[in-house]
Structure 1
């Protein structure tokens, strides 16, 4: 990454502590428009007015403000990038255009801090290597995970194997996750005809996958 671009990014983060996408409300691929709910955390002594967005980003409304965290309705629209070029230079704009030039649908989570950028996107397999090569120009790519894209109604259990899904569902229906717990691990193992050790192994793996899916990017 060139020195001028590094300095511009450092200046951007003089006021911003982090930005996190909370919900993606609308995507218009043809017009390049996305509307999302985002949390924007400003550093001490700064307010949202001190943050200089590129002209492609527009805050439509501030939904609430708590402890210097602004929950905003944010619209992004990729246009000519005049203001972005003024703020960050031609090289940065060129790299952004190259990234946005791929046939990519960006999704959540989206987390932006001074130390890292976490993004999720839907893309064809043949585009992945090209995108990662271009993204590496911005810095190191530390962690990558892939999941097959599905277009049915989202199901949090889709990250589990059939066996894990079967056991954790049975545990839930039997009251294993109720407070107080209505069935012990030993009782559940007898009910399902599986050893206690096997039950615990499947539940732990299933719980870990579900939590990892929910907290992806954190």
Structure 2
């Protein structure tokens, strides 16, 4: 078997102030989380799907009125959150620079006039990417670390155990149901239930920490 060790992949985390983006003028503490970014290069358009609080959305709508945001296609309230579908210029976007260097964006968010990005990139491309980013943004923090994939796919047994435990208050304080009672409902041993729950918890928590890794001060 051939091993490909020449191009290690790194996890890059950074916080920056983007001069040509609406995020520079979004000064709220409430974090705006980006769900997805879809480029339309031929139209010089980057479609942004985000989740915000109502307070955050009022600020975003104000930025659209001021011409900081190219367009807002749709706004939808989901419980206490607002889902927004908006557009900005694709050219000189942080997304265009990262993906233009074969990077894979994991997640990004806006707050306090800045942006945080987590993305995967071949190690030999990082310096070039940072140099290009520095031409359009003020980079305040960069952290490069080894990328360690974490399995987040739950097995059928893990998903069933986790769902049932959550629905019946196993994670409440105080607990509304005991592990032996859950095991009986699933028709399995108590030790087997705990095994599935621990595996599920490890995967879910690991995925959450990976996606929401903190930035150095």
TM-score with structure 1 setting the length: 0.49
When you count strand as a share of all residues, which structure comes out higher?
2
TM-score with structure 2 setting the length: 0.49
